[in-house]
Amino acid sequence: MRALLNICLMLVLLLRGYSIISPDKHGINNNPAKAKSAAKSGRYTVDEIMSIRIYSQFKINTFIFSPAQGSYILYGDGKPVDRIDNTNALKIGLYGNDSIEVHMVDARLGKFKTLKLVAQESERSFKLRLVAPDKKPRYYQGELSVTVENKLLRVINFTRLDDYIAGVSEAEAGKHSHAEFYKVQAILARTYALGHIHKHAEEGYNLCDQVHCQVFYGITNDLVILDAVKQTRGQVVVDEDLQLITAVFHSNSGGQTVNSEDVWGANTSYLRSITDSFSLKMPNARWQRKMATEDWLSYLKLRYNYPVDDSAARNYALNFKQESRRTYLEYTGVKIPLKNVRTDFQLKSTFFSITNQGDSLLFSGKGFGHGIGMCQEGAMCMTKCGYTYKQVLNFYYQKVVLLDIKEMAFFKEN
């Protein structure tokens, strides 16, 4: 009976002039093995389709899907169910522990294990609004798949690389920055996306939409950002061995960036400490924090067995100074990693000096973030002063080269 209904629906859709396209032949790159081999071979295309798990930090129970541009075919368990255009919306919710129930206005379309929403036109986008939990709507390009995982809905967006890059550039860099700065962000976002295309391969998609990968709240309609993505189309940053760089960045370096090994242990050729005067006049260049002297001393003693009863050692810890960045607070063999101090006290950076004020201490710090790679505020300052995106990238990442994705494949093959 169900097979007959499907055949009838396909006939109706064909008669209406809609092509029936299988979701798995529609550029939906949900094959982790394929993603892995693409990452290894370096054979990317400028029109790569990325699979991004969206709303990945939420426990999704119910959401509303409605086309914004173009029409969509709803596939339930691999079979076409109905066509949806921008006059319609679907309410998609968890049913029991392991199924998905779909409603269109007043009609119940059925209950399925998997859903796919496959676009019929090349210009396609949709609006998605979470109902439980309740969130304001977001817009996405491309297509959507829904499955159930651990009694919650798992939602994956299949989107063109550059639409994703534009969304990430806005989410990571905010609005109203210089056009040239968005070119920097776009290239870094593209480099990261392709370099980490297999990051969630075991889970069946490329990247999540949180800071674990890159923040992505859907597409943007900001014309400056869209133009920056277009003008840098296909461009990525590679190191001396033509490997895509780990394009890390932070908010403000405080005047000096950090060697990668000082935070992560691994020495990376392009992530070297540099003097960065561009960051100094920017909003996050400096910070201050008061702390009770007793809290600081008991932390040093309990966590690191620091000799606080030795007056010279105590004096050193209460008046610790950094002219240039240090990795440790170190006194006669006791080494305290400043990155741990930063995490434990939630300080803005490791680049701080201490002034002893008796019962309390004043921590005066520079910069915001881990300090590795590009300083975003410094890059903003550079582009405002007329530096190009290439100059910015070559300033913050050492001995790197900008390449087109196509050239990268060429070099790898030869």
Binding site residues, Zn ion, CB under 5 A: 208, 212-213
Q: Give whichever of 92 and 213 is closer to Zn ion, judged by the CB atom.
A: 213
197 three-class SS: coil
Phi, psi of 13 (to 5 degrees): -65, -40
Report in angstroms how near the CB of residue 212 gets to Zn ion at its nearest: 4
Report in angstroms how near the CB of residue 211 gets to Zn ion at its nearest: 8
Residue 83, H or E segment: strand 79-84
Residue 103: half-sphere exposure toward Cβ, Cα within 13 Å? 10
Rounded CA-CA distance 273/275 in Å is 7
Phi, psi of 384 (to 5 degrees): -65, -35
Report in angstroms how near the CB of residue 350 gets to Zn ion at its nearest: 25
Report in angstroms how near the CB of residue 379 gets to Zn ion at its nearest: 24
Report in angstroms how near the CB of residue 206 gets to Zn ion at its nearest: 9
Q: Give whichever of 131 and 201 is closer to Zn ion, judged by the CB atom.
A: 201
Rounded CA-CA distance 34/355 in Å is 56
Structural tokens at position 261? 């090994």
Q: Give whichever of 213 and 244 is closer to Zn ion, judged by the CB atom.
A: 213
DSSP 45: -
Beta 374-375 vs 249-250: how paired, if at all? Answer: parallel
Q: Give whichever of 151 and 212 is closer to Zn ion, judged by the CB atom.
A: 212
Peptide bond into 133 cis (omega under 30): yes
Structural tokens at position 270? 């392009």
Q: How far is CA 323 from the centre of its chain?
A: 33
Q: Give whichever of 173 and 208 is closer to Zn ion, judged by the CB atom.
A: 208
- Is residue 215 within 8 A of residue 171, CB to CB? The reply is yes
Q: Give whichever of 198 and 348 is closer to Zn ion, judged by the CB atom.
A: 198
Report in angstroms how near the CB of residue 246 gets to Zn ion at its nearest: 14
- Is residue 252 within 8 A of residue 365, CB to CB? The reply is no
Report in angstroms how near the CB of residue 384 gets to Zn ion at its nearest: 32
For 168-210, list the strands marked E by DSSP.
207-208
Q: Give whichever of 120 and 206 is closer to Zn ion, judged by the CB atom.
A: 206
Q: Give whichever of 53 and 138 is closer to Zn ion, judged by the CB atom.
A: 53
For 197-244, list the strands marked E by DSSP.
207-208, 235-238
